[in-house]
């Protein structure tokens, strides 16, 4: 398999990519604390997006699935998209008992196979801080394509505490 910037050979590398040094120099040993932090962010997202049980929601840059899992209990479906096969593999395992989450690999900033105007809401946290202006534009253009009219997309530009 071709290694990319977002590839990891082990959990230590994966969690360093996910959270950096925010949870110590061995973040893989603090998974419960990371999950709790992501749960707080998931509550913030669900409140801001006013999620409903009938919503189909996109998690762009889903990482390990720590946001998608609690949000999946509030909506009809969560679609996790990430550029990292390693993150998607971990997220699939993390969310293995959840039936209403699906996973897709993002390539070339395209959200395939998502259909036009097929999503009720979307969120992306700690993703856009890693992107240049062109990449941000490409993803926002895709958001405009896949979101229904008057849908909301919440994302952060810089990493800050909520």
Tell me: the pLDDT tens digits for 65-80?
999 999 999 999 999 9
Tell me, what DSSP letter sits at residue 76? S
> H helices of 2-114, where?
11-19, 31-49, 68-72, 85-94
Sketch out the chain's domains with CATH numbers: 11-17+24-155 (3.40.50.150)
Alpha-carbon gap, residue 38 to 46, rounded angstroms: 12
Per-residue pLDDT tens digits for 83-101: 999 999 999 999 999 999 9
Neighbouring CB atoms inside 10 A of 93's CB total 10
For the whole model, what pTM was predicted?
0.93
Alpha carbon 105 to chain centroid distance? 12
């Amino acid at each position: 398999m071709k290694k990319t910037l977002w590839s990891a050979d082990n959990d230590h590398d994966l969690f360093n990519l996910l959270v950096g040094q925010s949870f110590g120099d061995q973040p893989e040993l603090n998974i419960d604390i990371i999950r709790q932090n992501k749960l707080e962010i998931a509550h913030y997202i669900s409140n801001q997006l006013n999620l409903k049980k009938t919503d189909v929601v996109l998690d762009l840059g889903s990482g390990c699935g720590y946001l998608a899992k609690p949000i999946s209990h509030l909506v009809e479906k969560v679609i996790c998209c990430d550029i990292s096969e390693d993150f998607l593999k971990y997220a699939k395992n993390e969310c293995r008992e959840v039936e209403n989450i699906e996973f897709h690999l993002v390539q070339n900033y395209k959200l395939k196979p998502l259909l036009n105007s097929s999503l009720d809401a979307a969120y992306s946290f700690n993703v856009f801080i890693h992107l240049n202006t062109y990449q941000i534009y490409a993803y926002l253009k895709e958001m405009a394509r896949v979101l229904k009219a008057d849908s909301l997309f919440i994302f952060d530009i810089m990493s800050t505490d909520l």
